[in-house]
Each structure stands twice: as structure tokens, then as C-alpha cells.
């Protein structure tokens, strides 16, 4: 029923992709999502290249299904990781924090599918012209680094502007959100926060529990004044960051203050002084469960709810 161009492009059962979350999207999570019928992603973040090579090989020991690597293009190791992805014949790469244009020819040469994350229509058009295979269109509801436009408004505009498949991201965590994205013209979805709260995710239990216990208004955006906005759950760190931002600290000073805070939350479980990056969908998540169950529940709910689209004819209910 949901066999879209994204499924065919990536050779996956369901058009569901896992977000590339630094310190969170490791081989354990990527393999579990791929085994569940979606596309698992290893997040390169700022990790040294050989760490990513090892992660790639560990995924292959856990699954023979397709998977991908996310490259943060601002990383000092970005070029080296591009080389490793090509050497290791990784099937898919997603990119963020920059324009992957200069790497496209190399990816194409090694038959790597390229799917950048985009926050605007103009960048979507530009990257389509450069030859990318699909686009992840991310709304401001997402956790971590974000743009300004919402998923609801941005996705249909990009769908109208390009001919390649669009994958919606930001504020999607269940079958209803999945269907909503498809109704906007997307042919797949990317989930981040929902997969953090999976059994296979290596994030500290405190990090997961903070998301599960969150309510609808508990995320906040830091860094808007610097041009690098980040959505996190409210805590002492976010409060202190915003206070420093209001005092006019420079981007470099704020970066120094925030250095290591995501790792502190994810790895050590310090959800008070760490950066708990999570999306607005957090308030919808009530439990942790295996990735396979998350994916199957999304598809099951979507199938059940699809009657909403077919039960009306000529403006009146059947």
C-alpha cells in the first residue's frame, strides 16, 4: 500500500528513514531500523573517520539490509568520511549542515544514493539540479538543528518545486503523522525523536525517560540570534544558554559554552546540564519499544486511518 518511489530508490519495505542524530544514531540503532523494514542511518557527526568505518562494518554484521550514513558537512572530517563511504560501498548518504554539491560526482561514481536535508525551497531546487536522488524536507518542529518553516507549510512547497522524491521530517512520530506527510505529497518520512525512544537506541535511559515524560510545550529553541537554532527540551543548560545569548555573547563563545553538552546528556545521562535535543513530537511519545514494533505500529495505524481519505465523496460522508 505504501510502496512509494522512496521504497524503490532505497530498496526498503517501508518509506521510513531514521534521522542521523549525533551520539544517538549508532550501528545498533541503524541495524534495528533497517531490520524493521526502514532505512537505518549512522550519524558521523564530528567523529573521526575510522570510527565511522568501524560503525559501517558493525552494521553489516547485524543486518544485510540497506542502511546509510549521515554526514554533517561542517565536520572537519567530512571529506575523509565521504571517501570511507565510497570505499565501503555504503548504499545511501544523507547530508546536513551544508551543501553536498562538491561530493555528488564522487558519490555517483560509487553508486551511492544522495539525500540532503533541506530547510528551504530554493536549496531544494538547487540540489535537484545538481543531481541528488531525493530530498529530506525538515520542518522547524524537529529536534536538534532546525530551520524556520514548519513541516506542514514547507513540504508541499518543495513537492511542487521538484520532481524527485520528497521525504518529510519534523513533528512526525506515529501513523497519523505518516499519513499527513503523504497527503502533503511526501513519499516517505524521517523520524528522529521517536527512534531515540527505542530499545535498541544506546542513548542513556535518563535521556529517553526525559522525552517520554515530556509534555507538549517542553521544547525550546536556542541559538536563534546566532543563525544556528537548535531545538532542545527545557532544562538548566537551555536556560543558561538563552541567558548568555540575551547578553550578546558571540557564536564562538556560545559554542564553547555548549561544547560536549549533547554527549553529556546522551552518554552520561545528565539531563540537567546536558543538551537534550528532541523535537516537538516528544509530548506524543509515551513508551520505549523495539524499532520493529515502532515501524509496524506506524504502518498499522496508517492503514487503519486511511479510511479518513476514502470515506468522503462529493463533500459528504458515505
In this structure, the answer to whether residues 113 and 249 fall within a common structural domain is no
> Which helix (H) or strand (E) element contains residue 57?
helix 49-62
In this structure, the answer to whether residues 188 and 54 fall within a common structural domain is yes
Cell of 96: 546536513
In this structure, the answer to whether residues 144 and 95 fall within a common structural domain is yes
Q: pLDDT value at position 292?
A: 97
φ, ψ of residue 67 in degrees (nearest 5): -150, 175
CATH number of the domain residue 98 falls in: 3.20.20.70
In this structure, the answer to whether residues 79 and 48 fall within a common structural domain is yes
pLDDT band at 307 (very low <50, low <70, confident <90, very high): confident
Q: Is residue 313 part of a domain?
A: no
d(CA 221, CA 212): 19
Could you give the percent of the chain with pLDDT greater than 70? 97
Q: pLDDT value at position 314?
A: 54
For 103-138, write each residue's pLDDT tens digit: 999 999 999 999 999 999 999 999 999 999 999 999
Q: Environment class of residue 176 by beta-carbon count within 10 Å: exposed (0-12), middle (13-18) or buried (19+)? A: middle
In this structure, the answer to whether residues 45 and 180 fall within a common structural domain is yes
With a cut of 50, say whether residue 54 has pLDDT above it: yes
Cell of 256: 564553547
Q: pLDDT value at position 283?
A: 95
In this structure, the answer to whether residues 271 and 152 fall within a common structural domain is no
In this structure, the answer to whether residues 222 and 298 fall within a common structural domain is no
In this structure, the answer to whether residues 191 and 82 fall within a common structural domain is yes
In this structure, the answer to whether residues 188 and 222 fall within a common structural domain is no
> Based on the structure, what is the number of domains in the chain?
2
Q: Environment class of residue 157 by beta-carbon count within 10 Å: exposed (0-12), middle (13-18) or buried (19+)? A: middle
φ, ψ of residue 222 in degrees (nearest 5): -100, 160
- Lowest-confidence region among 164-173, 204-213, 261-270, 305-314: 305-314
Q: Is residue 68 part of a domain?
A: yes
When comparing pLDDT for 98 and 35, which is higher? Answer: 35
With a cut of 70, say whether residue 310 has pLDDT above it: no
For 137-185, write each residue's pLDDT tens digit: 999 999 999 999 999 999 999 999 999 999 999 999 999 999 999 999 9
**Angle CA 149–25–100, to nearest 5:** 55
Q: Is residue 316 part of a domain?
A: no
Q: pLDDT value at position 98?
A: 78
Q: pLDDT value at position 39?
A: 98
In this structure, the answer to whether residues 144 and 242 fall within a common structural domain is no
d(CA 144, CA 78): 19
Q: What is the mean pLDDT of residues 216-244?
A: 95
pLDDT band at 91 (very low <50, low <70, confident <90, very high): very high
With a cut of 80, say whether residue 99 has pLDDT above it: yes
Q: pLDDT value at position 318?
A: 46
Give me the domain span that covers residue 26. 5-202+288-304
Sheet arrangement for strand 113-118: 16-18, 188-191, 166-169, 135-138, 113-118, 92-96, 67-72, 40-43
Q: pLDDT value at position 312?
A: 58
Q: Is the sign of the CA dihedral 23, 100, 131, 186 positive or negative? A: positive
Q: pLDDT value at position 274?
A: 97
Q: What share of the chain is helix, strand, coil (3-state, %, to 5)?
A: 45, 15, 40
Q: pLDDT value at position 311?
A: 63
d(CA 245, CA 254): 7
In this structure, the answer to whether residues 159 and 81 fall within a common structural domain is yes
Amino acid at each position: 500500500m505504501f510502496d512509494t518511489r522512496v521504497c524503490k530508490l532505497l530498496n526498503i519495505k517501508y518509506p521510513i528513514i531514521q534521522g542521523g542524530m549525533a551520539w544517538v544514531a549508532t550501528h545498533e540503532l541503524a541495524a534495528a531500523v533497517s531490520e524493521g523494514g526502514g532505512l537505518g542511518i549512522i550519524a558521523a557527526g564530528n567523529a573521526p573517520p575510522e570510527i565511522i568505518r568501524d560503525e559501517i562494518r558493525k552494521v553489516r554484521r547485524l543486518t544485510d539490509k540497506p542502511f546509510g550514513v549521515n554526514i554533517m558537512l561542517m565536520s572537519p572530517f567530512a571529506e575523509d568520511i565521504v571517501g570511507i563511504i565510497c570505499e565501503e560501498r555504503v548504499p545511501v548518504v544523507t547530508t546536513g549542515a551544508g551543501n553536498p554539491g562538491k561530493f555528488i560526482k564522487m558519490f555517483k561514481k560509487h553508486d551511492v544514493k544522495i539525500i540532503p536535508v533541506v530547510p528551504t525551497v530554493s536549496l531544494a531546487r538547487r540540489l535537484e539540479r545538481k543531481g541528488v536522488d531525493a530530498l529530506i524536507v525538515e520542518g522547524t518542529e524537529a529536534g536538534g538543528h532546525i530551520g524556520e518553516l514548519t513541516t506542514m507549510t514547507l513540504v508541499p512547497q518543495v513537492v511542487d518545486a521538484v520532481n524527485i522524491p520528497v521525504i518529510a521530517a519534523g513533528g512526525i512520530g506515529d501513523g497519523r503523522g505518516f499519513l499527513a506527510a503523504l497527503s502533503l505529497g511526501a513519499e516517505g518520512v524521517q523520524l528522529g525523536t521517536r527512534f531515540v525512544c527505542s530499545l535498541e537506541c544506546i542513548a542513556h535511559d535518563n535521556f529517553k525517560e526525559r522525552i517520554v515524560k515530556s509534555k507538549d510545550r517542553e521544547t525550546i529553541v536556542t541559538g536563534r540570534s546566532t543563525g544556528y537554532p537548535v531545538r532542545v527540551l527545557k532544562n538548566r543548560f537551555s536556560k543558561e544558554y538563552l541567558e548568555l545569548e540575551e547578553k550578546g555573547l558571540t557564536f564562538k563563545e556560545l559554542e564553547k559554552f555548549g561544547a560536549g553538552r549533547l554527549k553529556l546528556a546522551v552518554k552520561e545521562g545528565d539531563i540537567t546540564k546536558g543538551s537534550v535535543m528532541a523535537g516537538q513530537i516528544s509530548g506524543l511519545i509515551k513508551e520505549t519499544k523495539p524499532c520493529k514494533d515502532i515501524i509496524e505500529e506506524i504502518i498499522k495505524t496508517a492503514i487503519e486511518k486511511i479510511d479518513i481519505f476514502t470515506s468522503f465523496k462529493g463533500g459528504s460522508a458515505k
